[in-house]
Amino acid sequence: MLVNAGLGVVFALGIAFTAYMLIRSWGGAYWLFTTAVAVVMCGLALLRRRSAWPAAAGVAVAAGAVGVSMAAELPQEPSPMAALALAVLVGSSLRALPGRSAAAVAAGGAAVIALAWFSGPTSSTASLALATVMVAGALVLGPLLRAFAPAR
């Protein structure tokens, strides 16, 4: 519970900072879509212990956000907080879900990052590189945490 509280604070501060930076750089209402996606993704990450559905929904939301941001010429998705939420969902799935479900979520997370890289010119390669590192870290840490978890 304490981990979720800390994660919630990090998510809230990160979402607020990202929205502020988008307002300053892109202007207009571009920040609304990115903020909405991040809020949904972070909410799903906070629900991750309930079952497999938050992880599956998170992968679907992230994939949809990448497609919409590309089609509507919005800021690149996944944003840093959406990517952190995706990494939390992927890592948690690999740690706790049954093998097939965990593999499906991991493949979906990797596919979202690949889709983002191949979606055309990026508005922020640094942001996408950060997302890649976070999800790759989840792909490594999730199974390690599973291997060293106490027997259930």
Q: Give the model's pLDDT for residue 113.
A: 96
Closest C-alpha to 143, from 108, 100, 91: 91
Angle at alpha carbon of residue 20, lines to 19 and 26, rounded to 5°:
80
Which pTM does this prediction carry? 0.93
Q: Give the model's pLDDT for residue 122.
A: 58
Q: What is the pLDDT along the chain (152 residues), one digit of tens a residue?
A: 898 999 999 999 999 999 999 999 888 888 999 999 999 999 999 999 868 999 999 999 999 999 999 898 888 899 999 999 999 999 999 999 999 999 999 999 999 999 999 876 656 688 899 999 999 999 999 999 999 987 65
